[in-house]
Structure 1
Amino acid sequence: MRRGMDAITFIKETGFPAGAFVMLYALFRTTLAENTRALQELSHVIREVRGLLLRLNGAAK
């Protein structure tokens, strides 16, 4: 979908099946990118917490 073109104009010009496919594809890409970033951040936090717990466990001995 071109920048600045609203969804109704896009569907009117391309037809509903093609328009729906493109919009669902864009939604999927956006959602996948957001989920990937969230998982990377979660992985980073888990590594930090794991390191902290290992240091605390070593200090307790």
Structure 2
Amino acid sequence: MSFTDKVKNEAEELTGKAKQAVGRATDNESLVAKGEAQETAAQAKKAGEHVKDAGKDVRDAFS
């Protein structure tokens, strides 16, 4: 995973957490849900990148 991808995913995750916090503070369930979805999407992207990196490591080990 490139550094840029890591920063983008982390920023997206933090944005989702911020949306959740604002939604809870303002009693806006829709914003909370959007924040949760955004955070989950960022975590899924990070997990996918970790799997891809692990696959590259395995490939390199057998090369």
Q: Which TM bucket (shorter chain)?
A: 0.5 to 0.7
- What is the TM-score of this pair, normalised by structure 1? 0.58
Q: Which runs of 5+ in 1 are unaligned?
A: 12-18, 56-61
User: Of the two, which has the highest radius of gyration?
Assistant: 1
Structure 2 residue runs without a partner (length 5+): 1-17
Aligned residues: 45
Task: Pick 1 or 2: higher relative contact order, CA cutoff 8 A, min separation 6.
Answer: 2
Query: RMSD of the TM alignment (CA)?
Result: 2.4
- Runs of 4+ off more than 2 Å: none
User: Could you tell me the percent identity over the aligned residues?
Assistant: 11
